[in-house]
């Protein structure tokens, strides 16, 4: 069962646009019981896929309400309808207070207890308040060495994106360290993906300086160039010594990317001239239009395949149908967190590692990409078949657990059969006779 706390907040805190899930079924003590309601019809994204995956992998949860008043104004949504905090208001005291109340007060000095917390900081919706959104979205960094916690919007998005990139490299017969990445968007999602990309390239043998030189970003004011004086602390490490431009096509021409990743919510930003230029730069350009909903995708699957004459390796944040171009049928992938986060949650809950490290998200990405069959790669599929999503999650979780045990990070005894052990821990919504 999934429960939701709504129309409530921790005493003295400002409501924020975020959701915090706990693996234990208990109502946060500060919240009245009458504020609990169902959540399944609350999530416009993945409302079909999440119950199917979470119903058998992720267990009982309690969450704090998301404030999507301006983003999802439907009167049918169960949500906190208070206004978002303004520029001078604290953005994330609620996260701090809940972490203290539910993690540290509940299991003090017991890091081995199952206090795995999944923080979904939907603070990228602070489009008008970039500094607030970034500060709150990265608040989870504060607790990385104190609790088993991760930010799904940042680290989960980065991991699932990296999984698609690993699959693309299999098709290209190349490596990440040989690519050049241009992000459309420079918010928390882009920063999170960029950070994990750097770690992944370092793992391939390049140094951090070279890895950073292979990543450029473009936001609403243009290219993230070192000359700009309006960059926040998370954007500055990605600033390139290039001539500033507010034209995305010009940025493509100047940076010569082999991979473009759209997290801008600017529908149509990947125009036909941009796609055609990418094909001039690379024989198999990687085009990830990750913004959602559909109208905000930087381009559609049909546009990417048609404009590239079938050369593009494409994935999106939403699911597009198969596309026929140049006499071939292509199957666009959906780079969505539900492909990875149930596996992460299950593996972390089961093994109770010392901490949730960056490497775990790289291993999750590799494990996901490795499940794509040669036949699926021939179809340009960058993610496993969604019809086998539960099998994908269990396989990824087993690989993660094995990695955690191999590095002696687990605080439970290693079982003889890791997969069978994980399957025994996964909750199944079966009714008793």
Q: Which of 80, 114, 146 is the last residue of a domain?
A: 146
Q: Are residues 170 and 134 in the same domain?
A: no
For residue 8, is pLDDT > 60? no
Same domain, 255 and 401: yes
11, pLDDT greater than 50: no
In this structure, the answer to whether residues 314 and 229 fall within a common structural domain is yes
> What's the pLDDT tens digit per position in 207-249?
999 999 999 999 999 999 999 988 888 899 999 999 999 999 9
Do 180 and 326 belong together in one domain?
A: yes
Range of the domain at 383: 154-433
**236 & 93 share domain:** no
The residue among 123 and 314 whose pLDDT is bigger is 314
Percentage above 90 pLDDT, the chain: 53
Between 38 and 57, name the one with better pLDDT: 57
pLDDT score at 99 = 59
Mean pLDDT of 124-151: 56
The pLDDT value given to residue 101: 54
Using an 8 Å Cβ cutoff, are 154 and 356 in contact?
no
Confidence of residue 383 (pLDDT cuts 50, 70, 90): very high
Note the pLDDT of residue 23: 34
Q: Do 253 and 353 lie in a common domain?
A: yes
Q: Which residue has the higher pLDDT, 45 or 385?
A: 385
Q: What is the pLDDT of residue 153?
A: 79
Q: pLDDT averaged over the chain?
A: 76
Could you read off the pLDDT of 387-432 as tens digits, one per residue?
888 899 999 999 999 999 999 999 999 999 999 999 988 876 666 6
Q: Could you tell me if residue 58 is left (phi over 0), alpha (psi between -120 and 50 degrees) or otherwise beta? A: beta
Which among 146, 180, 206 is the end of a domain? 146
Higher per-residue confidence, 115 vs 195: 195
Domain total in the chain: 2
128 shares its domain with 207: no
Region of poorest pLDDT, from 100-104, 177-181, 328-332, 366-370? 100-104
pLDDT reported for residue 384 = 95
310 with 380, same domain?
A: yes
Same domain, 118 and 214: no
**Pick from 117, 146, 175: which residue ends a domain?**
146
Residues 41 and 71 in one domain: yes
pLDDT, position 401 = 97
In this prediction, residues 175-196 reach a mean pLDDT of 95
**Residue 202: per-residue pLDDT:** 97
Other beta carbons less than 10 A from residue 75's beta carbon: 5
What is the mean predicted confidence (pLDDT) over 84-92?
A: 45
CATH of the domain at 245: 3.40.50.720
CA distance 284 to 77: 42
Mean pLDDT within 238-261 = 96
Q: Is the pLDDT of residue 177 over 50?
A: yes
Residue 215 and residue 289 share a domain: yes
pLDDT at residue 122 greater than cutoff 50:
no
224 touches 240 (CB < 8 A) = yes
Does 419 lie in the same domain as 334?
Answer: yes
The C-alpha atoms of residue 163 and residue 336 are separated, in whole angstroms, by 10
355 falls in which pLDDT band (50, 70, 90)? confident
pLDDT at 74: 47
Say what the pLDDT of residue 381 is: 95
Cis peptide before 405 (omega within 30 of 0): no
């Amino acid at each position: 069962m999934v429960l939701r706390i709504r129309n409530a907040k921790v005493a003295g805190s400002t409501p924020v646009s975020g959701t915090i899930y706990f693996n234990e079924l208990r109502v946060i003590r500060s919240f009245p019981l009458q504020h609990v309601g169902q959540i399944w019809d609350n999530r416009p994204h993945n409302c079909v896929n999440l119950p199917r995956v979470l119903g058998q992998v992720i267990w009982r949860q309690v969450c704090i309400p998301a404030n999507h008043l301006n983003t999802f104004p439907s009167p049918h949504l169960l949500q906190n309808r208070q206004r978002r905090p303004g520029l001078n208001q604290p953005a994330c005291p609620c996260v701090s207070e809940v972490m203290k109340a539910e993690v540290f007060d509940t299991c003090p000095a017991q890091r081995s207890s199952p206090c795995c917390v999944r923080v979904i900081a939907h603070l990228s919706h602070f489009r008008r308040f970039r500094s607030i959104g970034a500060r709150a979205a990265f608040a989870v960094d504060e607790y990385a060495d104190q609790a088993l916690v991760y930010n799904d919007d940042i680290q989960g998005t980065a991991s699932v994106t990296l999984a698609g990139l690993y699959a693309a490299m299999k098709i290209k017969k190349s490596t990440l360290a040989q690519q050049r990445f241009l992000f459309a968007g420079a918010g928390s999602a882009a920063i999170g993906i960029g950070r994990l990309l750097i770690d992944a390239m370092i793992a391939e043998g390049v140094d951090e300086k070279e890895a950073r030189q292979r990543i450029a970003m473009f936001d609403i004011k243009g290219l993230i160039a070192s000359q700009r004086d309006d960059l926040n602390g998370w954007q500055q490490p990605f600033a390139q010594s290039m001539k500033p431009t507010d034209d995305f096509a010009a940025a493509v021409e100047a940076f010569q990317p082999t991979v473009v990743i759209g997290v801008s919510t600017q529908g149509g930003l990947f125009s036909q001239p941009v796609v055609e230029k990418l094909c001039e730069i690379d024989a198999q350009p990687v085009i990830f239009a990750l913004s959602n909903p559909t109208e905000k995708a930087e381009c559609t699957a049909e546009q990417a395949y048609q404009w590239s004459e079938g050369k593009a390796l494409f994935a999106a944040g939403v699911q597009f149908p198969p596309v026929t171009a140049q006499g071939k049928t292509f199957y666009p992938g959906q780079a969505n967190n539900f492909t990875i986060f149930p596996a992460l949650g299950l593996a972390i809950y089961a093994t109770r590692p010392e901490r949730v490290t960056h490497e775990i998200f790289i291993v999750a990405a590799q494990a996901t990409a490795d499940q794509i069959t040669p036949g699926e790669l021939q179809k340009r599929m960058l993610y496993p078949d969604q019809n086998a999503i539960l099998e994908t999650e269990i396989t990824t979780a087993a690989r993660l657990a094995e990695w955690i045990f191999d590095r002696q990070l687990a605080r439970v005894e290693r079982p003889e059969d890791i997969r069978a052990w994980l399957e025994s821990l996964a909750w199944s919504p079966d009714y008793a006779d």
